[in-house]
Chain A
């Protein structure tokens, strides 16, 4: 028996209002016609038009997109392998070190990870730029991918794999034709999570960047320090839309997959 008590409903409503009101205000003001960010001058898409002529922002967006694509793909590969090793390999030498290295970056302040990676690149005399940012983002986001894929693998019905093997299917082929399709939704949502995390990251990128590789967050950050501008409102709104699209499609994908599986088992 569940009745919505007024206290529960109020606290939920207040909590959600606190989370969404600032973002809503930002989105609304990005359509403000006035250059003065505090005065409402009517609806307009003027600032979105001006974004198209801002070359510095556009090239930063292009760098960010490429970094996110490369690092999310690498992180998905490494994170999925990690999840398989952690779930399937039982005990192995160095397991504790391995799992600590996976969970530590999830909570580690980014200034620490950023500084230590930069010092590694300096010690190894690597030229900093696109690839160093991509490596830094891969290291951070593969841990998130691992957590997502791991939760799927734990809930996985192994009898399907065993059936395939009993019927003479070799291990690699079993993995590709049975396991992979079943954990694919988790892998895809892991990729999307890694992608958005990479798009957002400021601290790691600032430490590991080099000449010519300015990402969008670095650019936005340096503009934000100078104050609120309508163009920044517009670019933030676009980024919010991209993130919202990613999470909605990821959750729809998982849901569709679950519904399909329920039908199949019936």
Chain B
């Protein structure tokens, strides 16, 4: 096998140097890429009451001829089911709605926080950075659990509201869309703040001074100078939040009720409760297709950044 000559003039890599590349490469191929191909294949299989519960099963030992035989038996039944049953359509739409709304709220809350961080004095910035990152290191399960503590019927929120006489009857918070939204915004705030902070911190403040010297009001300078310069951070933050929220399972499962069924939960139920692996795989493939668009956009912006800057 010939190794293609790298663009930089370089000696041919020896065995150890090739291993550096090939060990992680092989690992990711085996445990990241191949599993997706299996999901794709099972999504085209038929449901069966067997172990494993799908037909035809996977048999690499029989060689490629059996693979073609299997391909002839592929069916698009599972995808037809996804399109015809409103349950699936409904949970895809619900996920998109929740993810879009949550991302918008995150931007509204995250921007002022990131702006405050970037404008804080230099000596404070590392400490503020650690303070924002620290919750990300604690388990998100714990963070959601903390909110169950607060939002339950006799929880602190209702105790406070009753004590302040804002309400007479304790309102129900758990198992509502509001609770899911609070949980998501809470869990993903660091993902929004950090990329925003990274771009805002690099911003040249003399630009704002120049705008002020030329008689530009501060709100207008924000709109015309700060916001356009912060765009890469805004895009990165929105995508970093939107994509994982779309497939979120734990938050809607613990905080949401029957009206907030997101696609992650549908997938989980199909797989664990209904044991319908082919349908669960089809749900995954469609979700993946939905995700490819923002991921591709993100990669493009990354490439543009690395080509444009420095």
Contact = CB atoms under 8 A, between A and B. Distances in A.
B291 to A, nearest CB: 7
Interface string B139-170: 11111111111101011100100000000000
Interface string B169-196: 0000000000000000010011001000
B310 to A, nearest CB: 11
Contacts of A15: 109-110, 112-113, 116, 189, 193
Nearest to B19: A81
A109 B25 contact: no
B268 A111 contact: yes
Contacts of B247: 108-112
Contacts of A240: 138-139, 142
A22 B186 contact: yes
Nearest to B268: A111
A203 B117 CA distance: 33
Contact of B148 (A103, A224, A243): A224
Interface string B241-276: 001101111100010000000001001100100000
A142 B149 contact: no
A265 interface: no
Interface string A109-124: 1111101110110110
A100 B29 CA distance: 11
B62 interface: no
B145 A26 contact: yes
Interface stretch (A47-55, A155-163, A244-252): A244-252
A263 interface: no
Contacts of A244: 134, 137-138
Interface centre among B8, B159, B239, B249 (most CB of A within 10 A): B249
Contact of B284 (A5, A90, A116, A236): A116
A195 to B, nearest CB: 10
A8 B130 CA distance: 18
B74 interface: no
B138 A18 contact: no
B271 A11 contact: no
A8 B115 contact: yes
B52 A122 contact: yes
Contacts of A196: 137
A197 B4 CA distance: 37
Given A19-B132, A115-B281, A119-B281, A224 B254 contact: yes
A172 interface: yes
Contacts of A224: 141, 144-145, 148, 254
Contacts of B36: 116
Interface in A196-245: 196, 199-200, 202-203, 217, 220-221, 224-225, 227-228, 232-233, 236, 239-240, 243-244
Interface residues of B, number: 90
A29 interface: yes
B120 A4 contact: yes
Contact of A8 (B116, B246, B268, B281): B116
Interface in A79-133: 79, 81-82, 84-85, 89-94, 97-98, 100-105, 107-113, 115-117, 119-120, 122-123
Nearest to A122: B52
Contacts of B267: 111, 115
B76 interface: no
A225 B219 CA distance: 47
A5 B132 CA distance: 20
A101 B284 contact: no
B299 interface: yes
Contact of B149 (A14, A25, A113, A202): A25
Contact of B150 (A16, A19, A25, A123): A25
A81 B28 CA distance: 12
Interface string B206-239: 0000000000000000000000000000000001
A114 B113 CA distance: 33
Contacts of B38: 116, 119-120, 123
A164 interface: no
A183 interface: no
Nearest to A196: B137
B131 A16 contact: yes
A236 to B, nearest CB: 4
A119 B154 CA distance: 42
CB-CB nearest 4 A-B residue pairs: A109-B247, A116-B35, A11-B112, A15-B113
17 contacts: A2-B122, A7-B112, A8-B112, A8-B116, A12-B120, A15-B112, A79-B24, A82-B24, A109-B264, A115-B267, A116-B35, A120-B31, A123-B58, A200-B138, A200-B139, A220-B142, A243-B134
Given A89-B6, A193-B137, 9 more contacts: A78-B27, A98-B25, A109-B287, A112-B288, A199-B139, A202-B250, A236-B142, A243-B139, A251-B130
